Amino acid sequence: MISGTAAVDELAAGAPEIAAFGTESVRLGGVTGLSLVAELRRPAREAVLPPGLHPIVPPAMSLLAWDVSESPWGAFSAAFVRVVCRSGARARTFCVGAAASTDDAVAGLRSQFGFPAQRTHVALRRHYDGVDLTVAPAGESDNGASVGHGAGPMLELSALDPDPLSVGDLQHVGSMNLAHTPLGLRLVQVETHHEPSRVERLAARIDAFDAAAWGQPLLDPYWVVSCSVSLEDVEIPAIRFVCDPALPAAEGTERVQ
């Protein structure tokens, strides 16, 4: 069994801070969600994960994007770049980078759930025959969170030819977010619950991906596996488990509520 080899100290630089674990879930209403899986090249397999997580074969990236109509943080758009992994025997993703279009969303995602969100321009546009997603730097944010590097887009993708699926055909995998918590530096397990009313699968193409801007230059999503779009409500429950990033889940898991 292989484990991540990334230096936890280096991953911790810039990790969000969760001052106190919340007890309330956050509900996102009227969400257009995009989910894309792409295979990564081999050098990224172990090198991007902390020792407490295990890569899969082949290494893969899971991109999630939301356009949210209603939330405690107002309307916003967000995108999450995640590496598919295992925590113990569980299917998970490790969130390498995140972007959100408003300061309130950035603050909420960082402080409540440990997503390494930065303020950016995020545009998820759904058309009758497809979807476009653009993530681009948006300048300095109010809370001081760092912003994408360079002048080009951090991400551009387009997807065409929606093919309807049943709502149960789409599986979502939880996210492990590295954050400074009251228990110390921990992988925070975020399990989103999705209530889709419509799911479509599309053929997608990644037109631009600035790995460094997402905080992990080794990411190279060279082979798109699948792309889907859903109309859904999303609940982000309060955090229940955290894991020591340096230990296997069987040894390093703590229940926080």
Partner 1 sequence: MMKFGIFYELSVPRPFSRANEWLTYHNALEQCRVADELGFDHVWTVEHHFLEEYSHCPAPEVFLTAVAAQTQRIRVGHGAVVCVPEMNNPIRVAERAAALDIISNGRLELGTARSSTWTELGGFCADPDDTKKTWDEFCRVIPQMWTDDDFGWEGARFEMPARNVIPKPFQEPHPPMWVTVTTPGTELDAAERGLGCLGVSAAPFAEQERRTKEYYRRVANCDPVGSFVNDQVHTLNFLYCHEDYRQAAALGLPMVGAFSMSNAHLYFTREAYPTRAYQTLGNAGAALRSRGTANGSTPADDPSVAKGLPEGVGIGDPDHLVRTIRKWEDVGVTGINFLLNAMEMIPQQQVLDSLRLFATEVIPQFQTADERAARVQAPTTVPEVSSPDGSAHSTMPAGASR
The residue ranges that bind partner 1 (CB under 8 A) are 1-2, 35, 37, 39, 54, 56-58, 60, 84, 86-92, 165-166, 168-171, 173-174, 189, 191, 199, 201, 225-226, 228, 240-241, 243, 249-253, 255
Q: Which is nearer to partner 1, 3 or 146 (CB)?
A: 3
In this complex, which beta carbon is closest to partner 1, that of residue 54 or of residue 119?
54
Q: Which residues contact 10 (CB under 8 A, 6 or more apart)?
A: none
Q: How far is the CB of 46 from partner 1 (least distance, A)?
A: 12
**Beta carbon of residue 162, minimum distance to partner 1 (angstroms, whole number):** 12
Q: Which residue from 114, 219, 235 is spatially nearest to 175, judged by alpha carbons?
A: 114
Minimum separation from the CB atom of position 75 to partner 1 (A):
26
Rounded distance between C-alpha atoms, residue 132 and residue 137, angstroms: 17
- Which phi and psi angles does 114 have, rounded to 5°? 75, 15
User: Among residues 13, 111, 32, which one has the least CA distance to residue 76?
Assistant: 32
Least distance to partner 1 from the beta carbon of 195, Å? 16
Whichever of 60 and 206 has its CB closer to partner 1, that residue is: 60
Q: Which is nearer to partner 1, 13 or 89 (CB)?
A: 89
First-to-final CA distance of the chain:
30
Query: Of 20 and 166, which CB lies nearer to partner 1 in the complex structure?
Result: 166
For residues 195-232, b (16+ Cβ closer than 10 Å) or e, as one string?
ebeebbbbebebeebbbebbbbebbbbeebeebbbbbb
Contact 2, 59 (CB under 8 A): no
Q: Which is nearer to partner 1, 106 or 124 (CB)?
A: 124
Smallest gap from residue 97 Cβ to partner 1 (A): 21
Amino acid in position 213: A
For the bound state, the minimum distance from the C-beta of residue 111 to partner 1, rounded and expressed in Å, comes to 22
Residue in 169, 163, 202, 1 with CA at minimum distance from that of residue 85? 1
Q: Specify whether the CB–CB gap between 162 and 202 falls below 8 A.
A: yes
